[in-house]
A and B are shown apart, each in its own frame.
Chain A
Amino acid sequence: GIQVEQSPPDLILQEGANSTLRCNFSDSVNNLQWFHQNPWGQLINLFYIPSGTKQNGRLSATTVATERYSLLYISSSQTTDSGVYFCAVVAGGTSYGKLTFGQGTILTVHP
């Protein structure tokens, strides 16, 4: 099956710093989503981005489907950004929403 790798596994920042999280995937995808899992375990959908670039406030994401990677940018980080960020894909040829997740990036933002 499709493989999803995220880097870095851990990231520690001071409040106000910028960061870039990366997601590599091994095959073509129909869907790609970025999620934030908060300390209570809730997964929040940040972006649906199988290709192109999107921005939402301090967050933006870019997916280059032909090169099989996606990037999540966090600018001016805040302590509330802490948590685990997951990239998840739906493999090409799958007609429904079976998501394959990466291992996640654990982000800690210190005040």
Chain B
Amino acid sequence: DTGVSQDPRHKITKRGQNVTFRCDPISEHNRLYWYRQTLGQGPEFLTYFQNEAQLEKSRLLSDRFSAERPKGSFSTLEIQRTEQGDSAMYLCASSLGSMRGRLYGYTFGSGTRLTVV
């Protein structure tokens, strides 16, 4: 297990279609995060899982977005009825954590670049 894997790397879809992305975290990491990065900006937090529980969702995550992490392993991010404004890089990260807030091994995947036409 060499890192965080994301699939697909690129996705082009027509407006109104549904898309689903997958993230496979580092196997021993119990925390998983999704971020979105638009051109020229830093990544923005979308949602966070500890094991299989989704513990926080950003206001950026509209009701067209849903994320799951069944069994606390891989995660999926689905966007329904895509809009051109959804075009962005979607990044997944995983980490271990501690009670003092120290983050161990915070690692990002290579991202999925979504283009909505």
Taking Cβ atoms with an 8 Å cutoff, the residues of A that contact B are 4, 30-31, 33, 35, 40-43, 45, 48, 86, 88, 90, 94-104
Contact = CB atoms under 8 A, between A and B. Distances in A.
- Size class of the B contact interface (CB-based, 8 Å): 20 to 34
Contact of B113 (A31, A41, A95, A102): A41
Contact of A43 (B44, B55, B91): B91
Interface of B is mostly: strand
Contacts of A95: 101
B71 interface: no
Contacts of A40: 110
B103 A98 contact: no
A7 to B, nearest CB: 14
Given A45-B108, A103-B42, 13 more contacts: A4-B42, A31-B101, A31-B102, A41-B89, A43-B43, A43-B91, A48-B102, A48-B106, A90-B103, A94-B101, A97-B106, A99-B33, A99-B106
Contacts of B45: 98-100
- Most A CB atoms within 10 A — which of B43, B50, B110? B43
Contacts of A102: 42
Contacts of A98: 33, 45, 48, 56
Contacts of B43: 43, 86, 88, 99, 101
B57 to A, nearest CB: 11
Contacts of B97: 96-97
A98 B90 CA distance: 15
